[in-house]
Amino acid sequence: MSEFGTLESRVHRKALMDKVMSAEDCIKFFKPGMDLGWSGFTPAGYPKAVPIALADHVEKNNLQGKLKFNLFIGASVGAETEDRWATLDMIDRRWPYQTGKNIAKGINTGKIRMGDKHLSLFAQDLGYGFYTPKIDIAIIEVSEILADGSLVPTSSCGVIGEILMIADKIIIEVNTGQPSFRGMHDCLVPLNPPNRQPFLISKAGDRIGTDSFACDTDKIIAVVESKHRDKGRAFADMDETSEAIAGHIIDFFSAEVKAGRLPKNLLPLQSGVGSIANAVVGGLANGPFEDLTVFTEVLQDTMLDFLDSGKLKYASACSLSLSEEPGFPRFLDNWDKYADKIVLRPLSISNAPEPIRRLGCIAMNTPVEFDMYAHANSTLVGGTRMINGLGGSGDFLRNGFLKIMHSPSTRPSKTDPRGITCVVPKAPHIDHTEHDLDVLVTEQGLADLRGMAPKDRAQKIIDKCVHPDYKPIIQEYFDMAKTECLAKGIGHEPQLFDRCFKMQQNLAQNGTMKIKNWDIKIDLCE
């Protein structure tokens, strides 16, 4: 028995107790090439017992590359599941977002076929049957199975509703290793067009659904007890860079309030995943604003600081993307303090353009890099190497009230003590265009780009965001590009396509982005 109760106490539809079996007993249901749908969104709320048992089975029986599946999950899940599956060559296709060194390696070496997609679109398109007409087996982690057969999720909603819509068979993992999350969710599966209804959300705490997802219990082939906790996501501590970025953003918000463009309690905040986003929220927890709300995808560790500060009134998200230590234990140990201030929604609602636009969300996300015209790359290092995926940043950056991207001006490099610049003449891959972004921020400063023409934007970004070591290099390129393009009458957004990626080429060949000249007739390092 767990400290949080028994399996019997969590399964209220008692007929399903006849389908209880071990994770190992479920292995017989899986065949090569199956399309699998998992619950989970970031490393929270994902199935663990059955995926781990399958990995153990493959490893024990030398079935690497022979028992492969197609995975459809709301976002990334724990490394002990999908990343281990990648090491065992168990994944053929993976949609739409992932995290892990080994799964990224599999994608970039061509062993795993990954597709990237705006998360709100992935959720609805999965339900439409665009990726597969049916999910062969769904594996869903839940807190409880109610008497009507409906499912209460755990620490995330993800795309559970859409998976259940098209699942042929369902395995339920009932997690008794943590308390029930009943009452925290707002579950709703949007109808397909032309019958889809408006999402009537006018403030972060509005609820439009129910506590649980409807489920056809005839499809359930197994009920498995799990006591595995979410592995969560580790975060770097705040440093001078992230503190400076947070400071610039808070100063900007203060100026917007003073100018009358924002109310004193701002507007609902969205913050993406990662250590910088986590640090920015931490800065807001210590900032001057009160009575704030959050409408976002994920709640990271500093959201708990935000709640503890009394400045955050309510938070809506898709997932509790907390760290394994201390995030999740802190949340569970203080359940009564946090639970009534949080609602977890399906991805199709949390990231839907309609409420984001209506609420006027302030979107804050971290790219890999951005260029001098405010195009941002969130996914592909060097334009070719996949990291994790686009995630939901585009959902908010296209539809928010203010669209902000924050990044260090440089990132560490093994071959350059200063590191590589995160502001470049031209991004080698573009996920967010100049049309979607209002504000760019590094520790060097903040560039408010609203109402600015491209060449004015470029100069503002160079002045405010570029590291001093790189500023002369990028300024020289911009001046040269203006001179040549304007002389030819093609100078609205000047670029020299024989040179715009020379810094990236130099990094690949010589280990540094500090080129010595822009002359195309001279070797890169000369």
Dump the DSSP string for 42-90. Answer: SSSS---HHHHHHHHHHHHTT-TTTS-EEEEESS---IIIIIHHHHTT-
- Which residues does the chain have with pLDDT short of 50? 1, 526
**Same domain for 195 and 304?**
no
What distance, in Å, lies between the first and last C-alpha atoms of the chain?
70
pLDDT of amino acid 2? 55
pLDDT of amino acid 283? 83
Q: For 106-142, give one letter per residue: b (16+ CB within 10 A) or e.
A: bbbeeebebebbbbbbbbbbbbeeebbeebbbbbbbb
pLDDT of amino acid 523? 54
Q: How many CB atoms lie within 10 A of CB 475?
A: 16
pLDDT of amino acid 233? 77
Residue 502, Cβ density class (10 Å: 0-12 exposed, 13-18 middle, ≥19 buried): buried
pLDDT of amino acid 59? 98
Question: Is residue 494 in some structural domain?
Answer: no
Identify the CA nearest to 522 among candidates 508, 512, 506, 507. 506
**Same domain for 256 and 112?**
no
Question: Is residue 50 in some structural domain?
Answer: yes
Whether 240 is catalytic is no
* Number of domains the chain is built from: 2
What would the pLDDT profile of 148-170 be if each residue is shown by its tens digit? 999 999 999 999 999 999 999 99
Q: Which of 82, 162, 225, 297 is catalytic?
A: 297
CA angle, 219 then 157 then 272, to 5°: 150
Full domain range(s) for residue 270: 240-471
**Same domain for 286 and 421?**
yes
What would the pLDDT profile of 287-332 be if each residue is shown by its tens digit? 899 999 999 999 988 899 999 999 999 999 999 999 999 999 999 9
Q: Which residues have a Cβ under 8 Å from the Cβ of 193 and sit 6 or more positions away? A: none
Distance CA 326, CA 234 (A): 9
Given a contact cutoff of 8 angstroms between Cβ atoms, the answer to whether 268 and 293 are in contact is yes
**Same domain for 306 and 396?**
yes
**Same domain for 346 and 219?**
no
Whether the bond into 194 is cis, omega within 30 of 0: yes
**Same domain for 133 and 263?**
no
**Same domain for 193 and 279?**
no
Q: What is the pTM of this model?
A: 0.95
Helices 301-308 and 275-285: angle between axes, nearest 10 degrees: 0
